Each structure stands twice: as C-alpha cells, then as structure tokens.
C-alpha cells in the first residue's frame, strides 16, 4: 500500500499512528507530497483522491481510500479490531471524540489560512475561531477522566493529534495551566510509542493541509493566542 503523506498534516499523522498501533507500518510506503488548495493539486494526488486532499491510501489492488476517518476504519477492520471498539456504547464514545478532535483540526487549519491573508484576515473570524477552540478545550478537559478510564482507541488518537497540532502551531498558548486534567492525560498519553514515533515536523517538501486551506507554503504569522 502507498500513503500520500506529509509530516505537517494532523490528519496524515492520525493514519500513521493507527498504522503503528496495528503494527503494519512496514506494509505502507509513505509518499511525501505537497498539497495547497490555492494551487492545482499534483496529478498523483488527484489520481487517488479527486478532491485533491491528503491523506489518500492506494491499496494493493490499485483502488484508493481517502479521508482519514475512512482510511483508519478500513485499516482497523482489515488488521484489527484494535482501535474501534466492538461494544456499541464505547464505539459511539470514540466516534464522538473523533468528530470533536477532527473538528478542532479543521478549525486550526482554517485559522492558519486566515492568518495568511493580508493583515491576518478578519478579526471577527479569528475571534470566532478562538471562542470555538476554548469551548472545545473545556469540553475535552471535562472528558479527561473518561479518556483515562476507557481502552485506548481512535478517539484518543484523534485527540492527541488535535492537541499536538495546537502545540505545534500555537506553542505558548498556556492551555496546560488552564486545563490541568486534560494536560495530565495528554502528558501521560504522549509517552505512548505510536505517538512518539510520529511527531509533527517542518520540512520544505510538505504542507499542513488535507483540507480547504493554503497553509504551509505561505508566510503565516503565528497567532498571539493565550488561554
């Protein structure tokens, strides 16, 4: 299998963590690629995903899967189940966390895109993003004990990607002091081998985006955002 990959994309990282948890990293070749929404997508991306986004996974039979949620569930069905619980209630809880975390990542990517516009874009839009992120962190902090008391799964993977991406692009925001229960859970889960093995990194050959943004390849002033 071949994975269209970027070291900056939180959604690609999600897939890579799942590969590690399933112990199948050696089955997948990572293909570095650059995707910018304001520029025509590379042919190799469009051939696997007509939306021109990453991650996209080419299967051994030549077919492709796209959207991190679809890819992760497929992998767990084929090589698990490990991360998607069989128990209905636990499964729904993990899917709720996945939706929340993926939504956070969408907001953060759009936020960075807004900051790349002239004069850092609209102040009203930036304030709206800030309010949503604060609300999401409050919700996650309230769920932190539940996260600690349920088997590691796709919900944990997604939340770690969201929190780590926030730290990657908004370092110094001080969320740890504001949300100590969530911070403790994050610190403990950060020691997991799959998390350590798949860090965010800046390179000259990839971008953040697997959604409708144009970040990474443009100059973006990091936001002065403090909780």
User: What was the pLDDT predicted at 119?
Assistant: 73
Would you call 113 exposed, middle or buried from its count of C-beta atoms within 10 A (0-12, 13-18, 19+)?
A: buried
* pLDDT surpasses 80 at 76: yes
Residues β-bridged to residue 32: 5
Separation between Cα atoms, residue 31 and residue 101, nearest integer Å: 25
Q: What is the pLDDT of residues 159-190, one digit of tens each?
A: 999 999 999 999 889 999 999 999 999 999 99
User: What was the pLDDT predicted at 46?
Assistant: 93
Taking domain 88-196, whether its CATH number is 1.20.1050.10 is answered by yes
User: What was the pLDDT predicted at 117?
Assistant: 82
- pLDDT band, very low/low/confident/very high, at 40 (cuts 50, 70, 90): confident
User: What was the pLDDT predicted at 38?
Assistant: 61
* pLDDT surpasses 50 at 204: no
Separation between Cα atoms, residue 210 and residue 56, nearest integer Å: 9
- pLDDT band, very low/low/confident/very high, at 208 (cuts 50, 70, 90): low
Domain spans in the chain, listed from the N-terminal domain onward: 88-196
Q: Across the chain, what does the average pLDDT equal?
A: 90
More confidently predicted of 179 and 34: 179
């Amino acid at each position: 299998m071949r994975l269209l990959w970027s070291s900056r994309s939180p959604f690609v990282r999600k897939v890579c963590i799942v590969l590690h948890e399933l112990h199948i990293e050696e089955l997948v070749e990572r293909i570095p690629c650059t995707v910018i929404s304001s520029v025509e997508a590379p042919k190799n991306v469009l051939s696997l995903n007509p939306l021109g986004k990453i991650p996209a996974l080419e299967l051994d039979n030549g077919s492709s899967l796209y959207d991190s949620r679809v890819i992760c569930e497929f992998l767990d069905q084929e090589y698990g189940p490990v991360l998607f619980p069989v128990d209905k209630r636990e499964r729904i809880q993990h899917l709720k966390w996945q939706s929340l975390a993926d939504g956070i990542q969408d907001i953060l990517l759009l936020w960075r895109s807004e900051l790349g516009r002239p004069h850092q874009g609209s102040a009203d839009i930036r304030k709206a993003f800030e309010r949503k992120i604060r609300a999401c962190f409050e919700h996650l902090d309230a769920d932190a004990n539940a996260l600690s008391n349920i088997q590691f799964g796709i919900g944990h993977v997604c939340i770690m990607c969201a929190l780590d991406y926030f730290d990657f692009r908004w370092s110094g925001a001080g969320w740890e002091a504001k949300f100590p229960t969530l911070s403790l859970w994050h610190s403990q889960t950060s020691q997991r081998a799959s998390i350590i093995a798949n860090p965010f990194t800046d390179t000259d050959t990839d971008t953040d985006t697997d959604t409708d943004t144009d970040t990474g390849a443009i100059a973006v002033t990091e936001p002065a955002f403090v909780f």
